[in-house]
Amino acid sequence: KKVIDLSADYRLPAGMYEKWYDAQHTDLDNLKEAVYGLPEVYRDKINKAQLIANPGCYPTSIILGCLPIVKQGIAKVDTIIVDSKTGVTGAGRKAALPLSFSEVNENLKAYKVNAHQHKPEVNQELAKVTNKVVDIVFTPHLIPINRGILSTIYLKLKKDIDTKELASVYRKFYRTEPFVRVSSDRLPEVRDVVNTNYCDIGVTVSGSMAIIVSCIDNLIKGAAGQAAQNMNIMCNFDEKEGLIT
């Protein structure tokens, strides 16, 4: 049986898992075989896999936002700053005071500053594509909306490049991807992607910094939609089946 796991159980090596999730890993055999389910990186492996570790919502927005620029060596990887904002469903559906309407509404806060469990997941994946140690600075924020993640990513450029050129790099990188859209003249907003499987990425260069804005619906591209996309790939269905209406 083919399995797509939406939890965090198969995303990290056992040691990292135990450190960040504070739990013993009890399925080490399957852990070794699991493929990280980000189609834009691992499409071929996903196609042949038996067990998919579906990526976290923050990491999906962050990794897709960083991939072209770090893979092509345009930006430094030792000082990536990620300021993410998420809607409330990012925390799951549960009865908890910090998630109650009157605590969240008309409020705005940072939480788990540089200590969120999705940080090692991003570090691991960016390290794999760059062959370098990556340690992002990551601040998640809770916003009073139901759905959506917007990650604002700050990267130090290694060479002279302007917004147009960088956008061109991103467009070329993702030109065959059905669910990644790149823009430079208008930055993406959360409502552009809500209820869709798209990751929208906006690119700006300002001096020696690239500022990347990456938006997804945390419940679709950040969870169930990406799982369906992975299922389509595993089963040799059209990758967009059920995801573009």
Site for a copy of itself contains 183 (CB under 8 A): no
Total site size for a copy of itself, rule CB under 8 A: 57
Torsion angle in degrees (nearest 10) through CA of 22, 26, 29, 32: -10
Look at the chain and count its residues: 245
Which of 57, 66, 199, 215 is catalytic? The answer is 57
H-run or E-run covering 121: helix 119-130
Site for a copy of itself contains 7 (CB under 8 A): no
What is the crossing angle of helices 57-71 and 163-173, to 10°? 110
Window contacting a copy of itself (CB under 8 A); options: 12-20, 24-32, 187-195, 222-230: 187-195
Window contacting a copy of itself (CB under 8 A); options: 34-42, 125-133, 171-179, 205-213: 205-213
| Positive or negative torsion for Cα 61, 65, 70, 71 | positive
Residue 57 annotated among the catalytic residues of the structure: yes
> In the stretch 78-107, what mask flags binding to a copy of itself with x, by CB under 8 A?
-x-x-x-x-xxx---xxxxx-xxxxxxxxx
Q: Nearest approach, Cβ of 154 to a copy of itself (angstroms)? A: 5
- Closer residue to a copy of itself in complex, CB, 41/155: 155
Of 132, 195, 235, 241, the one binding a copy of itself by CB under 8 A: 195
- Residue ranges in 30-69 that form contacts with a copy of itself under rule CB under 8 A: none
Nearest to 81 by CA among 211, 218, 186, 222: 211
Site for a copy of itself contains 213 (CB under 8 A): yes
- Compute the distance between CA of residue 172 and CA of residue 66 in angstroms, rounded to an integer: 14
- Closer residue to a copy of itself in complex, CB, 36/232: 232
Would you give the end-to-end CA distance of the chain in angstroms?
28
Of 150, 180, 220, 243, the one binding a copy of itself by CB under 8 A: 150
Window contacting a copy of itself (CB under 8 A); options: 2-10, 122-130, 144-152, 165-173: 144-152
134-137 CB contacts, 8 Å cutoff, 24+ apart = 134/70, 134/77, 134/78, 134/80, 135/78, 136/62, 136/80, 136/81, 136/82, 137/79, 137/80, 137/81, 137/82
- Residues 184, 164 contacting (CB under 8 angstroms): yes
Catalytic residues: 57
Residues of this chain that bind a copy of itself (CB under 8 A): 79, 81, 83, 85, 87-89, 93-97, 99-111, 113-115, 135, 137, 139, 141, 143-148, 150, 152, 154, 156, 187-191, 194-195, 202, 204, 206-207, 209, 211, 213, 245
